[in-house]
Amino acid sequence: MSTADVDQLDDGPLGRLALSRSGVDRATPRRGDTDWLARAWADPRTRVLVVRDAQALVATRDGRLELVFVPPADAPDGTRFLLGVGADDVAYFGVSAAAEDSAARPGEPVGGRAEPSARSDSADAKPMALRQVGALLSDRDAGLMTHAVALANWHDSHTHCPQCGTPTVPAPAGHLTTCPADGSEHFPRLDPAVIMLVIDPDDRLMLARNALWPAGRMSVVAGFVEPGESAEHAVAREVYEETAIVVGQVRYLGSQPWPMPRSLMLGFQATAKGGQRIAVDEEEIGEARWFTRAELRAAIDAGELGIAPTSSIARRLIEYWYGEELPDGLASWTARGR
Ligand SMILES: [Zn+2]
């Protein structure tokens, strides 16, 4: 699919989510073209995004955050993968580098020096996580970083053949690995997860607090899809398990990748049947309750409630139900919001 095709996608009810953006062609036909890959890596115009410990180097330029790339010659050792090709025909690669590399010191461009165009203000460059910067980057950079972090996480955690235990070898474009012992091929893994607005017949929204979260932090219910289960079934099961609420209609709204480490978040709206009482699974959920729009806004404005960060699909789902953007409220979600 070309970049133009992505741009022409109908984003659906949720609009385009922060980590669902893109600005380069993924150039999938190039992944098997080893000659092209070698030429692209030899081209000094090629830009490499270095990922360490799920973070990439980000700098401020003209008041906005952008990724800091290095030319291939300055890239550190590590698993390499093709991210795509820009409209200007510049190729983008990622490299998953070892976290202990001395070049990972905060404040220093990864690999020793940044590309010339970024050098002027790369002094403030520092490694940042997707959760922190995903919503603040441009379409191109958000897409590149999401793709790179997802592939780096896969390579870092899937190093051996699941059939025989032999260390696998990444293909030149980094989108598959092969076992040298038995020839089996292995592709990036994703964990599909459902996350849902649960609405009652009075159009109130259910928010729940994970038992591990501090008071005042609440969000929509979410959970992983189990093997042999549809996404819709997972929605109904998770809502019932966590809150004892039976839902009827389940409607798909949109998705975004959440490579922390490898989720694909599938957003839904589920309608609860009337006349039910919430009864939380106390091991997993600290509390759950229904909010009217006025109650939600009042709790946020009073500093009693904090909702998920703007990069998350949880935030977009809540704002979709609410009808407009909301302030962050109480707790900033530095931990593991989704
Ligand atoms: Zn094997």
17-31 tens-digit pLDDT: 999 999 999 999 999
pLDDT at 175: 98
Distance, CA 226 to ligand 1 centroid (Å)? 26
Inter-axis angle of helices 293-301 and 313-322, nearest 10: 120
Percent of the residues in the chain that have a pLDDT greater than 90, as a whole number:
84
pLDDT at 333: 52
Number of neighbouring beta carbons within 10 Å of residue 298: 13
Query: Is residue 241 over pLDDT 70?
Result: yes
CB 317 within 8 A of CB 195: yes
3: pLDDT confidence band, cut at 50, 70 and 90? low
Asked if the bond preceding 309 is cis, omega within 30° of 0, the reply is no
Read off the pLDDT of each residue in 91-114 and give the average, rounded to a whole number.
Answer: 64
CB 333 within 8 A of CB 308: yes
Question: Distances from the Cα of 259 to the Cαs of 54, 64, 188, 190, 242, in angstroms?
Answer: 9, 23, 11, 8, 24
Note the pTM of the prediction, 2 decimals: 0.89
Query: Is residue 283 over pLDDT 70?
Result: yes
Query: Is residue 136 over pLDDT 70?
Result: yes
Distance, CA 45 to ligand 1 centroid (Å)? 37
299-332 tens-digit pLDDT: 999 999 999 999 999 999 999 999 999 998 875 5
pLDDT at 16: 93
Residues, Cβ < 5 Å to ion ligand 1:
161, 163-164, 166, 179, 181-182
Distance, CA 177 to ligand 1 centroid (Å)? 11
From the list 187, 147, 136, 167, the residue with the least C-alpha distance to 311 is 136
